Structure 1
C-alpha cells in the first residue's frame, strides 16, 4: 500500500480517497490529480489490497477500476458496500458493456461511474459533489437524531415547565428548518449532477453539445403549457437531459450519423438506445419516471416507432412530449435526416406529422409556443388514400416511407404519372399510403378526410 497525505485545507480536514486499479500508471495519474486538491490519497493495486486498506484506514470515497484480475470492480465494490456502507463508491471503467455497468450499479450501489479516459475537471467535480452529498447526508442523520432526542425529552418534561417546553419547541423548529434546507440542497445537487452527466455524455465524438439541454427546456415548456404539474414537468425535463444516455456504449463512428442513413446492424443497435437508457436509470428510484419516459420517447403516435411499437395513448404522455421536443431539435442538427432544417422548417415539419408521428394535442401546445398560433389556423388539408388522388393535387406534408425515408416532399404537385408510380409502390410494398393534400387542391375539398 502506498499513501500520500497532502496538507489539509485550513478550514477543514482533508478527505481520504482510496484508488484501486491494477495499472500503476492509472494510480499515479489519479494520485497526481487529487494531490493538487489537498486530498489524502491512498492507492491499492488489487481488490485484496484495497480491502486491507479499508480495514486500517477511514476512507471517504473509493474509486475502483472495473476490469481487474482475480476480483473485478463489481465484486470489490459489493463487498465495500456490505462492510463499509458509509464509504461512497465510484466506478472507473472503459467502454464496458451495459450489463457489467448495470451490475456494478445494482450490486455495489455505485454513486457514479466514470469512463476512461476521463476529463480531469469532470472527475474532480464528481468527487467534490460526492463529498458534499456525503456531508449533507451525515448532517441529515445528525439532525434526525437530534430531532428524535428532543422529542423524547419533550415527552419527559414536567407540565409546570412551560417555559422550558417553549425553548425546546423553538430548538426543534430550528432543527426541522435546517433539515428541510439540507433536503433542498440534496435535491438541487442531484439535479446539478444530472446536468453535469448530460454534458459529459455530449462530449463524445460526433455528439451535439447542448442538444440535451435544449430538448429538456422545450419539453418542460410544452408540459407546462399543457397544464402538467411542476413535478411532472420536472420528470420530463430530467428525461430530456438524459434521453441519449443509452448511446454511451455506442462506438464513436455511430454517434452523430443521421438516423435516415443507418442500415443493417447499425440501425438495429441504434433502435435499442431508448431501452438501454431506461435500463441504466431504472435502479435509481428518483429517476424511474424519467427512465419510463426515455424508454418510450421514440415511439410514434401511429405505432410505427421503436423500440416496442406502442401507439396512441398507450405511449406515456411524457414520452409523447419528449418525442416532439427531440425531433424538433434533431431536425435542425441533421440527426434525423441528412438535410438540415431551420427552426421555421422544423416547426412546420413537426406540425405536418401530427396524428401520425406525434400526439395532436402535444403538437398544438408546441406550435403555440413556437408561433403563437393554432396549427388548425395555418394548415388546411385533407387526408386520403391513393385511389382518391387526382392530378394537380398539392401535398401539404412530406410523404415518408415506413422506414422514414422521404418519398415526396411537401408542395409537390401530383401528376398522372406520379399517381401510377404511387399505386405500383403500394402494390410492391403491400402497404396502404395515406397522403395529405392542401384543401385548395383540385377536387380536394370534396374528398373524405
Structure 2
C-alpha cells in the first residue's frame, strides 16, 4: 500500500497568529474510527476530544471549548444530521463536518439543510484531504474570531474617544471620523454585502498604512489600477479583483519590524532582503482563506514578477503573469516614482513616465504601460477641475475629489465619497463647534451653482 504524504503539522502561527492549540471533537460509535482520527490530528498539532455517541458529544461541548466537530452519519440513538443540528443551536460558530458513506446521500442532504454543515467527507476518507479541509476550516474560524474582536474593539474605542480629555480633541476628531466611517460601512452591509466587503478592504488598507512611511500609496495605486483595468477591457469581476489587490498588495509586509519599514531598501541587510522577497507569498497566504479573494491573492503573489522572468517569488515571464498583477506592478512603481518611495525622490511626472516606458519588455507589459500612462494623464487633468469649498458650504450629493486624511495619514474619507445628510451634518457641526476653518476638495461637476469655491477650478 502506498504511503500518503501529509502536509506539514499545523502550528499556531498557521492559524493566523493563534497562541492556543485548536480543538476538534470527533464523534463516532466505532472506536477504531476515533483512534484513526486521533492519530491524524495528533500529527498535525491539533488537540482532539472524542465521543462514542451524540449525547456524549453534547456533554463535552458543555465543558470544553471546541473549534470544529466531525461526526459520523450513522450512529445509534441519534444520527449525525440531528447531532450537527444540535451543535449549530449550541454554538453556530463551531465548524461542522460530516463523515458519510456513499449510500447515505439522502441523510447527507438532511445534514446540509438542518445542521448547516460546512463540508462532508466520504468514508473511507483520504487523510491528506481531511487535513486540508480541517486546516481551511480552522483558519476561517480564527479569521471570524479576529473580525469579531476587531468589531468589539472598534466599539470600545468609540466609547473611550467620546469621553477623552479635552486636550486630545484633535486626535479624537480624527479617530472618531475614522470609526464613524467604519460604522457606516457596517450599516451598509445589511443592504449590499458585496459593496460592504469592498469598503472593508479599503478600511483595512488604510489601517495597514498607519505603519508605513508613504500614506496614500495603496489608495492611489488602486485608483490607477482600476481605471487601467477598465481601459484594457477586463471584466467587471476582474476589475474588482485588480482594485482590491492594489489596496492590499503590500499586506505581506504587515509583519515587518518598524525599523525595516522606515529605511530605504538600499540599506537592507541580507536577512532584510530575504524577508522582503517573501512578502508576496506571505500576502497570498493571508488572503487565501477568504473565497472572495482567491483572484486577489494570486495578484498579490505576482505583483513583484517581471515580464522578462527576473522578478520574484516565482520568476514568471510574459503572459504567465496574470494581467491584474502586470497592472498593479506598473501602477505601484509609477506612484512610488512620483511620490518618493523609490530612492526617496519625488520625480517630475514626465521623468517618471519615461522611466516606466523604459521598462517595457523587461519590467512591464507594453499594453499595460500605454493604458496606465493615459489613465494617469486623464486623472491629472480631472484633478485640475477640483474645487475647494468651506465646510459650511458642504451639501448632500457633493463628491469628494481628494481623500481626507488623519494626522497620521490614515484615510478618513476616500476620494469619490458621495456626501449624505448625516456626514454633512457631522462635518459642519464639528467645524462650527471647534471654530476651525475646515475646507474640502470636491468635484466641480457636483458643485451647486449657489456655492462659491474657496479656490476655483484650475486655481
Length-normalised TM-score, structure 2: 0.46
Q: Whose radius of gyration is greater, 1 or 2?
A: 1
